[in-house]
Amino acid sequence: MTYELTPARLEATVQDAVRTLGRGPVFELHLFGDVGPEWGVTGWSEEGGPVPDAPGLYAVYAKDVSRVRREIGPEVPVGEAGLLYVGKAERSLAARDVRQHFGTGKTGRSTVRRTFAALLEHSALLWPVLRAGGKPSSKSPATFDLSERSEEALTRWMVDHLVLRVWVPEVPVALGDVEKHVITAWRPPLNLTHAGPRPHIKAARAWMVALAAAQDEEQPQADWEPATLGDLFRVRPEQYGLRGSVGLWTELRVRFASEPMPASRAELQGLVESAIEEILAEAMPYDRESVHMVRYNVGGMSQGLVHLPWWRETAVPMILGRWQKWADARRAG
């Protein structure tokens, strides 16, 4: 049974939630179980014990504000107190907040986890994949999971960098009403609803969705013609050299998706080679011919390796050839 709250009672309940979420016990997060996909996460406070197995609200805070600011980027306005996100758990704070939002393999079902993933793509070296069984529709919008290595990396980052405070109401109440008032008052920087516009977060999440979708993109018909620079990457090569090149090819496809077709072959070559150089700036040397892109490691023998001669001798000439075919067709038409 959920109790109806009068305006006065709602205000008092919101103030109680604000006090507890702002100054209540701090729950540290800890990993347990086997390393990797079997990791579990638990929350514990010296004052409050384990995270309650009860409905309530939770607030996610930065453990080290300056470090989190640096890693999620200056566009996210993290305040001095380190508040990042406020949410509700209708059934269990332990299950919803800790096990879902912080659990490895849960990114596709956790909005706050997807937000962290999108903001940490480069600093934590994360790579999105299409959510299993997840074809987008009007009722099920496009979303993404993470590769197995990236899931583990995100879990470790969240455990190392975040802490929680929780609030459990004395009697069952409409948590959504209380949550809305708390979010409206505090405007946590990672909340997408009731906290004002968040164009940077939405753009970062959209980029991850696009990267995931491009990996499962249907190949075009034989008579299809490219319209943008990104379209030159739509038809995937039969072979990539090493497996990490799949990630680089996909990233270039999405990066240039809306870029107008260059006016010349030289302009195209300059754009593509500059983009490759910029993206691979985060890569680590592997041998004389390859670099290692941790983000692109989704398994397989080559483990995220990008073979540089394949790009110089095969991939870039292939893209130039596709542009030339497009340019010749336009001149002939």
Query: Beta strands 305-307 and 290-292: pairing type?
Result: antiparallel
CA distances from 146 to 109, 121, 208, 294 (A): 11, 10, 9, 13
pLDDT for 310: 96
Q: Is the pLDDT of residue 186 over 50?
A: yes
Average pLDDT over residues 315-333: 94
Query: Beta strands 40-45 and 49-50: pairing type?
Result: antiparallel
Site of tokens 């109401």: 169
* C-alpha–C-alpha distance, residues 44 and 42, integer Å: 7
Site of tokens 């809305």: 180
DSSP annotation string for 202-218? HHHHHHHHHHHHHTTPP
Q: Do the Cβ atoms of 171 and 10 come closer than 8 Å?
A: no
- Cα 180 versus chain centre, distance: 24
**Which residue type occupies 255?**
R
Q: Give the highest mean pLDDT range of 3-7, 257-261, 296-300.
A: 257-261
The interaxial angle of helices 148-161 and 111-119, nearest 10 deg, is 90
pLDDT for 44: 86
Band of residue 301 on the pLDDT scale cut at 50, 70, 90 = low
What are the extents of the domains in the chain?
A: 7-198, 217-332
